[in-house]
Every structure is written in C-alpha cells, then in structure tokens.
Amino acid sequence: MTSKIYKFSSALIGAGRIGFQHEYDEKRIKPASHYGMLIGNKKINFKAICDTNSNNLELIKKNNKNINLYESYKEMIIKEKPDIVSIATWRDTHYEIMDYCSDNGVKAIICEKPISENLKDAKKIVSKLKNLNIPLFINHRRRFDSELIKLKTNNITHYVGEILQVNCFYVYGLLTTGTHLIDTLIYLLENTEGEIKSVLGFSNTSNSFCPTDDPNIDFILFFSSGLKVFVQSLDMKSYDIFEFNFFGKKGKLSLKNIGRDIEQFNIINSPEHKGFTELNFNPKKKLGGKPRNQFGTLINNVIETLNGKSISYSNGDDSIKVMKIIEAIKFSTLKNKKINL
C-alpha cells in the first residue's frame, strides 16, 4: 500500500541565473537553481514562473511546456494561489515582492539574499511575516550546506582548539556577497565567540570590481569574546574567492575556494628549527571537497517546516543581524571610526 504524498503548490519569481539558468551549467551540482529545486521535488507541485523579461520566459517554454508563465508576479500569485513562493529577482525588488506575497495567501517564502536593500525594510518585512506566521527562508546558502552544518554543530573549537585569529576573503560587494560571509561567520562563531559588538570598515578602491551601488569594503568584526575577525575583499575579475582561515591553539581550519574545500591542519615539530613547532603544510584531514546539495536541503527544510517538523535554518532574524552589521560597516567606513552596535 502506498501512502499519498501531500503536495505543496509552488511558484517562482525571477528566472535569471540563480532562478533558472544555472540549472544548465554542466559543472554545477543539481539542483543548481530555484527552478531545479522546485521541479525535481516529489512533494512539490510546481505550477508557475514569472519574469518581467519575456526572453527568459521563452527559454523556459523551450524546456518545459507544462508550466504557466507570467510577466506580472501579482497576476501569478492571484491566479495560481501558490503555497510556496521562491523569489530570485534583483535585490531591490525582494521587499515589495515578499510584502505582496504575505498579503495574498502565500504560506512560505524562499527569498534570495540579501533580504532587502536596507535594515529598515528587513525589520518591517520580518515583523510582518512573523505576525502572519509565514516562515521565511533566506538563501544564505551555507546554512544549507551539510559540511558547514557539521562545523556549526561541532563548533570550530573542536577542530582548532581555542580560536586565536580569523581572516577571510570575499569578492563583489559588501551587500551582494559580503552578506554571505558575515552570515557564515555569525553561524559558525556565535556559539563560542558570542555576538559581534563593533565593526571597523575601510574602503577598498584598489581592486574594486563590484556592483556600482555596492562597493567592496574591508572590515574588522569585534566579537564579545574579544576575537577580532579581519575580512579583505579581492577582485572577482581575477578569480572568485570566499575563504576563511580559523587559527586556533591546536591547529588551523580553512574553508577554501568558494567555501567548498575544508582542510584541517595540525601542529608538527619544525623540520628546520629544533624545539619549535609549525602548522603542517599538508592538511591532516579534508572535510569538504565536493559541492553539497544545498538547494535540496533548503527545499526539504521548507517542506518540513510547513509540516510542523522543523524551523527555518535561515530565518528573518538571522538576516536582520547581517543587515545591522552591513549598515554599521558602511557607516564606519564613511566616518572613519569604529562603530559599536
């Protein structure tokens, strides 16, 4: 006897790169887009897609004749009445689209990062969604990465002992990509290092390939434990990078490349100086290596939450914390002084 699977209806708004096109990047693990995440799930009835760009809709039509296509998300929400809406549009549209969804019967919202353009809008929409009991899932995708979930559960101190210093690198805009980095730092460090208490920002104009309205900023985060995390921005035109180095009393843990490769380094006797120790050049253990199915974990988290068996791994309050820090870093850079949160 087979038990019936209840399906949640869903719709996608925004069928650009992360919304749709990445599904056809042969190098990426699948699902690689919101489209792939929704089309491939047996518990989802994926009904409709909206994009203001009709060329994107034409591309979808070639791949899938069974999905309803719209140029207006408002019309789509009213006609299709989806339970779950996935938003993969430009960041300056996230707030108004979430607001409309919340007024029109949507039961769960998945939204691309950053949650909004500014802290004020983030606070407004998070409060509204909480009051309406609508769970929110912001795609700060490292929170849906099985290897990072393990690091979080064990704490970084499990791998390196007491943390002494942390440095990190990112590219392409404080709000656009820095949001991932700050969120990941909070996620991995809050259990042992507490909250971020203050920030200090420095503009980086030397290698500033970034969105026109979102500069690369270097910064220091001061945690309540006394830990300082140094973050530097690099040039995405040269190479992509999203890297973390956690230096502890018992070794070092690195998240390398775009966070995919995780290496643990132990301490060895120096081959060169008697009585001295060094970090091993070769990792003692490699923890990552292959890309993880983050979109799969995200949609399972949504379904489990709607079934009352889980809560959002990346909720509105998590994103508000990030937005507060981003605004403080911008202000610190402008005023050229350390800012307390």
Ligand X SMILES: NC(=O)c1ccc[n+]([C@@H]2O[C@H](COP(=O)([O-])OP(=O)(O)OC[C@H]3O[C@@H](n4cnc5c(N)ncnc54)[C@H](O)[C@@H]3O)[C@@H](O)[C@H]2O)c1
Question: d(Cα 148, Cα 294) in Å, to the nearest integer?
Answer: 11
Q: Which of residues 34-93 bind ligand X (CB under 6 A)?
A: 50-53, 56, 73, 88-91, 93
Number of residues that bind ligand X (CB under 6 A): 23
Site string for ligand X, 13-42 (x = CB under 6 A): xxxxxxx-----------------------
Question: d(Cα 253, Cα 160) in Å, to the nearest integer?
Answer: 7
Instruction: Tell me which of 35, 38, 44, 141 binds ligand X, using CB under 6 A.
Output: 141
**Nearest residue to the partner ligand X, using Cβ:** 16
Instruction: Find the shortest distance in angstroms from Cβ 236 to ligand X.
Output: 12
| 118 lines the binding site for ligand X (CB under 6 A) | no
Instruction: Find the shortest distance in angstroms from Cβ 294 to ligand X.
Output: 8
Q: Pick between residue 56 and residue 297 the one whose CB is nearest to ligand X.
A: 56
Exposure pattern of 232-244 as b/e (b: 16+ CB <10 Å)? bbbbbeeeebbbb
Q: Pick between residue 98 and residue 160 the one whose CB is nearest to ligand X.
A: 98
Task: Provide the 8-state DSSP code for 249.
Answer: T
Instruction: Find the shortest distance in angstroms from Cβ 89 to ligand X.
Output: 4
Instruction: Tell me which of 11, 48, 109, 113 binds ligand X, using CB under 6 A.
Output: 113
Question: d(Cα 141, Cα 245) in Å, to the nearest integer?
Answer: 19
Alpha helices in the chain (DSSP H): 34-39, 54-63, 73-80, 94-103, 119-131, 146-154, 157-160, 178-193, 294-306, 316-335
Site string for ligand X, 271-300 (x = CB under 6 A): ------------------------------
Question: d(Cα 277, Cα 142) in Å, to the nearest integer?
Answer: 33
Q: Pick between residue 40 and residue 161 the one whose CB is nearest to ligand X.
A: 40
Q: Which of residues 150-209 bind ligand X (CB under 6 A)?
A: 176
- Judging by DSSP bridges, how do beta strands 228-234 and 243-248 pair with one another? unpaired
Q: Are 43 and 5 in contact (CB under 8 A)?
A: yes
Instruction: Tell me which of 60, 101, 106, 112 binds ligand X, using CB under 6 A.
Output: 112
Question: d(Cα 245, Cα 181) in Å, to the nearest integer?
Answer: 12
Burial class (CB in 10 A: 0-12, 13-18, 19+), 159: buried
Q: Pick between residue 179 and residue 204 the one whose CB is nearest to ligand X.
A: 179
What residue has token string 């749709």? 20
Q: Pick between residue 59 and residue 341 the one whose CB is nearest to ligand X.
A: 59
Question: d(Cα 141, Cα 18) in Å, to the nearest integer?
Answer: 12
Query: Which positions touch ligand X (CB under 6 A)?
Result: 13-19, 50-53, 56, 73, 88-91, 93, 112-113, 139, 141, 176
